[in-house]
Amino acid sequence: MVELVVASILVPFLGGLITLVIPRKWVKIFSQLIALVAFLCSLVVLISLIRNGKTATTVDLVQMGRFVIYGVTIDKLSTLIGLAVILVGFLIVVYSTGYLSDKNREHPEHSVERKFYFYLLLFIGSMAGLVYSSTMISLLIFFELTGVCSWGLIGYYDNPGARKSALKAIITTQVAALGLYVATVLLVILTGTFQLSALSSLPDDAKTFIFIGILIAAWGKSAQLPFHFWLPDAMAAPTPISAYLHAASMVKVGVFIFARCLLSAGNVPNIIGIIGSVMAVITMFYGFVMYFPQKDLKRLLAYSTITQLSYIFLALSLSVFGSSMAFNGAVTHIFNHAFAKSLFFLVAGALSYSAGTKMLPSLRGIMAKMPLVGVSFAVAALAVTGTPPFNCFYSKFSIFTGGFEAALKEPILMILMVLALIETIGSFAWLFWIFSSSTSGVPSPEIESSTRLAPSMQWVLVTLVALTFVSGYFASAFMG
């Protein structure tokens, strides 16, 4: 399994470098093959873990003197999230081969840009490296690499707005990264090692300081208050990249690091759970309030991402109080949200490609003129809001069940859970209203004049629709 884990990390890195030198006409097909190989490696790793009884394994790979710099942890958390980030990465590569063309009505592309596929493959490799990491220093390294990739992709269109948004994203996440630097330094000073397993041996005071640093870094990467402002502006990126940033890569780094460190640390002081829970609910309501003024579908989805990540932070924070169901719900929501939200963004991309707009006032009659996009829109809206039988229902149900379980021990948590329940009802109502307004009725002029989607884009939409039906059940069963 270790060899396959290493392959899922290195193959995208090497493939990205090769895209810079091979003939342009080969770049698209080569990038798809590289992403497919990485996905198959992660799939075999997950299957092997199941066959081994889901027994966790950690193997040290890179050592400098007495310090382990990089190792891989193969367990339920890493294999499940690793599969999601690489599978969604593969689907984004396939979708992009159709989206980035001269037939795109909003952003026509007349030649193959190597840098797009270079950064995207590098992103997939960086995410794989992060989710399998067993040391704090390697989490930090891959944390930084994902920032570089996001900078390159957010600024892809190379206009003033895109460059400004890319700069805002990397500066904001770099400032937040100082928390992870401090946490890494404290860990090595107090334990003499970078290995995450050493967290469990620390006293509560030390854990509190380290986890505050981890939370700051996680809030920055996952666009939580007070670092939220970079994410809506990141919509300057091509829509497939917005899908990957919001669904499976950049913003998932923060919640994943928090989850990995909680799992490694064992008992964590309750103050971390309270801080994390309160900040999650505040951010959740901020994101919800920001739904209402949005006219651009992508910006609306950006604020939806902020709120969905808040659910994950809330559940992880609640797990501090001993709720394994809340922790499992958070992990499965990372997995499920990857497919549901990428589908939602790729619907927006399909509208840009075919109709030349993703502005909500111009979207009407989608179902009549573009039935595949309309059905995908419906599935994405229902899945993201946690409607059964779609995937996010399973993870949200676990989050709320585990949350109310934890609330029996801390009265303040009961208030937070009730507020979260109110928010999820409000989100469902608003997104369903957006869906019904956009898909029914006589097609608007923009929708009436829409063109046919590229076959690769159609295939990805159908695949993601199918995944929103099955991934929730699989993730819940896998996590137990």
Say if 107 falls within a structural domain.
Answer: no
pLDDT value of position 409: 78
Residue 473 lies in a domain: yes
pLDDT of residue 107: 87
The answer to the question of residue 309 being in a domain is yes
Answer whether residue 256 is part of any domain: no
Write down the pLDDT at residue 250. Answer: 84
How far is the C-alpha of 455 from the C-alpha of 98, rounded, in Å?
7
Domain tally, the chain:
1
Query: Residues with Cβ < 8 Å from 149, sequence gap 6 or more?
Result: 119, 120, 122, 123, 126, 249
pLDDT (0 to 100) of residue 269: 96
* pLDDT given at position 113: 84
Note whether residue 336 is domain-resident. Answer: yes
Q: Domain for residue 366, yes or no?
A: yes
Is 380 within the bounds of a domain?
Answer: yes
Question: 213, 186 in Cβ contact below 8 A?
Answer: yes
- 51-75 b/e (C-beta count within 10 Å ≥ 16 → b): eeeeeeebeebeeeeeebebbbbbb
Long-range pairs of 425-434 with CB within 8 A, sequence gap ≥ 24: 426/288, 427/288, 427/291, 427/304, 427/307, 427/385, 428/385, 428/386, 428/387, 430/288, 430/291, 430/292, 431/291, 431/304, 431/381, 431/384, 431/385, 432/381, 432/382, 432/385, 434/300, 434/360, 434/381
pLDDT digits (tens, 9 = 90+) for 300-324: 999 999 999 999 999 999 999 999 9
> Considering the entire predicted model, what is its pTM?
0.96
Q: Is residue 416 part of a domain?
A: yes
Q: Which domain holds residue 411?
A: 293-480
- Whole-angstrom distance, CA of residue 246 vs CA of residue 243: 5
pLDDT tens-digit profile, the chain (480 residues): 899 999 999 999 999 999 999 999 999 999 999 999 999 999 999 999 999 999 999 999 999 988 999 999 999 999 999 999 999 999 999 999 999 999 999 888 888 889 999 999 999 999 999 999 999 999 999 999 999 999 999 999 989 999 999 999 999 999 999 999 999 999 999 999 999 999 999 999 999 999 999 999 999 999 999 999 899 998 889 999 999 987 878 889 999 999 999 999 999 999 999 999 999 999 999 999 999 999 999 999 999 999 999 999 999 999 999 999 999 999 999 999 999 999 999 999 999 999 999 889 999 999 999 999 999 999 999 999 999 999 999 999 999 999 998 888 778 899 999 999 999 999 999 988 888 888 888 899 999 999 999 999 999 999 999 999 999 999 999 998
